Every structure is written in structure tokens, then in C-alpha cells.
Structure 1
């Protein structure tokens, strides 16, 4: 019996040394330790040093391999969008229009949880598929001229093609020299976005230029992912 065991060791050990892989439940391991079956850990010790565990999240890939990823990456991949954009300060924002349309240049963020709004291009680009609630408001402070059209649009762009998904537009009028149309325009909608699709905001009017109030409570937008 001792001779048989000794012979098996001579045959088996060099094989393991050459492959450098150990299989449990499989004779053809493809990793250093390849377990074909359940993994059960009966006892664990709670780690109190957060500096040790903050970047030690284990995940299982599609082929069953266990890998490590940054805990920050896991958190951010599931965090939902929450954005609020405004203008800087409280001064007036002058917008010059061409062909009755101009992009509203929101260029300041109160918050942007997923870093999806570009303050240079004034455009929100979704990083994940989902359903989003979008709201936008502008206020001219009552300094508007008479106009047949004065409105606000939410624009969705997919592969370079833009479409209006929400709009509020009506004439700006006066009577006996008194402005009778509210200077505020606002609109909102729920919209489905896929990764890479974008949202921007447009001003629509017959006026050549418009001066908007830049205060955060007057002119702003919000985008929230609801699913």
C-alpha cells in the first residue's frame, strides 16, 4: 500500500507543479484555483479597517471567474442621475437668436452625481439606459418685447438627430403699455434615454435677443433618473 501511494505522489505532484493550477470538481482547471461548484465560507471576521476593504470588492465575471474591482466603480455604475444646472451669479444672461432658436447656455452645476452634464456644450449625455424626469425654467424678468412666439423646448438627440420632446410656447403681449404675459416659461417631461443619448434646452422666439435672469431660483433645469 505504501508503495502504491508513493508511486501516485510521484506521478501527481509533478503534474500539478507543471500546470500551476488546482481543480476542485474539475480535472481541467483553467485558473490557479478552479472550483466547479458552490463556495461556502462558514466563518468570517468583520474588518474594521475601512482603508483595507474600500477597494476589495470581489465580483464574478460571465465565465465564472472571480475578479476584483474598485468599490467606487461598483457604486458609481449603479448610482442614479441627479443634475441641477443654472447660470453663474445673479446677473442677466443675454441670448442672441438665429432662425428663432438658440440653445440655452446653462453653464453652472449645483450638483451632478454622475458627471453627465457638460457645462461647455450645455448638454446632458446619459451614461446609462433608463427613464428620466426633466424640468426646465427660464425667467426674463418682464423685460420682453411684444412677440408672437416666446417659448422653451426640451430637445432629445439620438445619433445626431434632434427632436422636441416637450415645449411651452405662447405669445408675449402687452395692453395699454403694461406687460400682461408672465415672463416665466417652464416645461417638463419624462423621457427614455439610452447610453450616449443627450438632452439640451432651446429658447424659441421671434425676438432678436432675450435677457434672462441668472439667479438660481429664476432660470434652471433639473434631470433625475427615475428608473
Structure 2
């Protein structure tokens, strides 16, 4: 029995083990925390929690110096990180705006022929960060590559005109990538002939999923709009939303 006890003591003494000033080190003689393990940590069993309420998550801080300190992490922070919005709970890609008056259409040399963008500005946003939208060119800048849900609607005046509109105007979304602009979706206003009266239903919308790259600029506007009445444009309404749904 004495031989077994001595052998166990000698085995423990052979481990690089230190206890200094309340700090315990395993495989290190200079522990930097209350328990400092220089090696792999294995846990064979752990109970399963029914919910995250009242629990903290243990996470490893991967320091560049190799000191992988373990810290507590609130599960809500994981949810916030998943939406890429830090602690706000709003994803960095989410942005929407609504314009109810003062609509004008802006031309740019890079735009495809016949397209002019609506003069949205950050002050008209309903949700989102000002960092992803530029008042200088009325564009949304894609923060990260992935698939985005985009919706855009426009109503010209009251939404119903007593004559057919020239140039067949409609709504459109333009993507500018590396100074090249492309209409990625569009839809013309609808015309209807009611026996003796030609009418244009002068409102439309587009919404779908679009693959985009980081740095793409998105413009929302009208196609075939060169002959629209400026006075009616001023009383028009328009809105859009955009957010990332997948990598």
C-alpha cells in the first residue's frame, strides 16, 4: 500500500504543476490566471439547458499572442452578431426609406439610357444606418457580398392618369459595379383602355432576391421618364427596402 501511495505522489510531482499566489498552472510554471491550462481541455459530459434564460456562454478570446482566455458571453450578443448589427439588433445591411413629397429625378452619366433615380436622402429613412446610404448620389452601398431582398415602389401623382403616358415609364432598380450600371429589375406602369378613355395606372413596384457584391451601389428610380410632368412628380410618393438574407 505504501508503495502505491509513493508512486502516486511521485507521478503528481512529475507534472509541470505550480500554485503561486492563488494561481494554479497545469503544464506551466508561470500561471497567468487563477487556473492556467497550457494544453487541451476536454469535458466528457455536460448537462443540456432547456433555454438560454439565465445562462452565459463560455467563449475563447483568440488573442494574437496565443493567450486564449475564456470569458462569459451573453447569448443575446450571439443573436446580435448574427444580424451583423452589433448591439443594436438591426442588421448592418437593413435600410428602408419613404418619400412622400418633393420627388425629383436625378440623371447620371453612368445610368442606362432612360433611367433616372429618385432623390432619396438619409433624412427619409425609416430604419437603418446612415453609413450605407449616400445623399451625394442617392445610392445604397452593399456592405457585404450575398443575396439581398429588395423592394421598390413608386406612385406618380395620384397613381392614375387620364391619358396614356409617353415613353412607357415604369419603375426600375439599377446596380452600379465598377462604374458600370445595369438595370437589374424593372416594370412599366400599366395602361388600360376603358372604351372611350385611355388611362395609365401610373404606379408600380418590383421586389425579389438579387445576388450582390460588396461595394455595389443600388439606385431606385424610373425608366422611360423623360417626359413626366415635374409638378406631378413633386406630389408623387416612393419607398424602398433592402436587406441581406443569405451569403
* Residue aligned with 2:81, SS: helix
The answer to whether the Cα contact below 8 Å between 2:140 and 2:219 also exists between their aligned partners in 1 is: yes
Mapped to 2, the partners of 1:96 and 1:154 lie a distance apart of 13
Match of 1:37 in 2: 41
For structure 1, list consecutive stretches of 5 or more residues without a partner in the other structure.
44-48
Distance in 2 between residues matched to 1:166 and 1:146, nearest whole Å: 21
Q: Which residue of 2 aligns with 1:211?
A: 234
1:94 aligns with 2:103: yes
Summarize the Cα distance change of 1:183–1:132 in structure 2 as closer, same or farther, 3 Å threshold: same
Q: Which residue of 2 aligns with 1:103?
A: 117
Deviation readout 1:116-155 (Å, 9 max, x if unpaired): 6426353333334432221111001246884213122112
Cα deviations by residue, 1:49-100 (Å, 9 ceiling, x for unpaired) = 98xx8xx76433677934677867643331155443201xx4x323145474
- Against the structure 1 CA distance between its residues 181 and 86, is the aligned structure 2 distance closer, same or farther, given a 3 Å change threshold? same
Mapped partners of 1:64, 1:192: distance in 2: 39
Once residues 186 and 29 of structure 2 are traced to their aligned partners in structure 1, the CA distance between those partners, rounded to angstroms, is: 65
Q: Which has the higher contact order (CA 8 A, sep 6+)?
A: 1
Q: Is the 8 A contact 1:173 1:179 kept in 2?
A: yes
Residue 22 (structure 1) aligned with residue 22 (structure 2)? no
Change in CA separation of 1:147 and 1:129 when aligned onto 2, cut-off 3 Å: same
Check the 8 A contact 1:145/1:207 in 2, yes or no.
no
Q: 1:135-193: CA deviations, max 9, x gaps?
A: 11100124688421312211223344332210123687999995511110222231112
Q: Is the 8 A contact 1:116 1:127 kept in 2?
A: no
Q: Which residue of 2 aligns with 1:46?
A: none
Once residues 60 and 161 of structure 1 are traced to their aligned partners in structure 2, the CA distance between those partners, rounded to angstroms, is 44
Match of 2:97 in 1: 85
Aligned to 1:164: 183
Q: Distance in 2 between matches of 1:123 and 1:130?
A: 18
Shift in alpha-carbon separation, 1:126–1:94, aligned structure 2, 3 A: closer
- CA separation of 1:39 and 1:86: change in aligned 2, threshold 3 A: same
What SS does structure 2 have at the residue aligned with 1:94?
A: coil
Structure 2 residue aligned with 1:120: 135
Give, in whole Å, the separation in 2 of the partners of 1:125 and 1:72: 28
Unaligned stretches of 5+ in structure 2? 4-8, 48-52, 84-90, 109-113
Measured after TM superposition, the shift of residue 201 of structure 1 is 0.9
CA RMSD of aligned residues (A): 5.0
TM-score, normalisation: structure 1:
0.61
Equivalents in 2 of 1:137, 1:127: separation in Å?
23
2:79 to 64, 75, 81: 75
Tell me the secondary structure at the aligned position of residue 80 of structure 2: helix
